[in-house]
């Protein structure tokens, strides 16, 4: 039998609902298996740990052919909000937590939450903009050091 996975470092780089959930589910699932997890939020993925924004993460209704919506319709004001609400209802029915609740739970499982320094600087953010579960703002080099010996998953 192949060796089991002992550690994963998951990068969340997108700020849409469909861009954030997969990484969170993989992180939570890894912890449930007893796998060590580091979560690295970069670029628009930072919204998932941004205090004022993490409750308002929206489904991408433009440039998302998987939704099977006409492109022009996806861009109509309000469509993204309505579709996001629809998705959230569906997920709630399946007992999938909201993004803020999910991120907090993942921190409780012992996963480390980190923000990308380059992105934080670029967006003019500071530590105070993030949820208290954030462990540190780190460079990409520090991320690789932390990820050593494990698998890296980019989402």
Partner 1 sequence: MPTIMVDGQEIEVDEGGFFVHPDQWTEEMAPELARTAGVGELNEEHRRVIKFMREEYFAKGTGPTVRALGLSSGVPVKRLYELFPKGPAKLAARIAGIPKPRGCI
- Shortest distance (Å) from residue 105 CB to partner 1: 6
Listed ranges 12-20, 42-50, 68-76, 101-109: which one lies at the site for partner 1 (CB under 8 A): 101-109
Helices (H), 33-147: 71-74, 79-93, 99-108, 117-122, 140-147
Structure tokens at 13: 């780089």
Listed ranges 61-69, 72-80, 93-101, 132-140: which one lies at the site for partner 1 (CB under 8 A): 93-101
Residue 41 or 102 with smaller CB distance to partner 1: 102
* Interaction of residue 3 with partner 1, rule CB under 8 A: no
Residue 66 or 110 with smaller CB distance to partner 1: 110
The 10 Å CB-count burial string (b at 16+, else e) for 39-60 is: bbbbbbbbbbbbeebbeebbbb
Angle CA 28–30–36, to nearest 5: 105
* Interaction of residue 70 with partner 1, rule CB under 8 A: no
Listed ranges 9-17, 28-36, 64-72, 118-126: which one lies at the site for partner 1 (CB under 8 A): 28-36
Does residue 114 sit in helix, strand or coil? Answer: strand
37 close to 31: Cβ distance less than 8 angstroms: yes
* Interaction of residue 110 with partner 1, rule CB under 8 A: yes
* Binding footprint of partner 1 on the chain (CB under 8 A): 25, 28-29, 31-34, 94-97, 105, 108-110
């Amino acid at each position: 039998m192949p060796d089991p996975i002992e550690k994963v470092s998951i990068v969340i780089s997108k700020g849409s609902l469909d861009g954030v959930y997969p990484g969170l589910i993989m992180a939570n699932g890894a912890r449930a298996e007893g796998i060590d997890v580091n979560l690295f939020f970069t670029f628009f993925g930072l919204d998932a740990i941004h205090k004022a924004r993490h409750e308002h993460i929206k489904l991408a209704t433009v440039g998302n052919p998987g939704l099977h919506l006409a492109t022009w319709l996806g861009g109509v004001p309000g469509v993204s909000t309505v579709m996001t609400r629809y998705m959230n209802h569906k997920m709630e029915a399946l007992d999938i937590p909201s993004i803020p609740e999910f991120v907090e739970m993942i921190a409780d499982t012992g996963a480390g939450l980190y923000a990308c320094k380059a992105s934080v600087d670029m967006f003019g953010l500071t530590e105070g903009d993030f949820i208290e579960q954030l462990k540190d703002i780190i460079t990409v080099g520090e991320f690789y050091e932390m990820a050593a010996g494990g698998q890296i998953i980019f989402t």
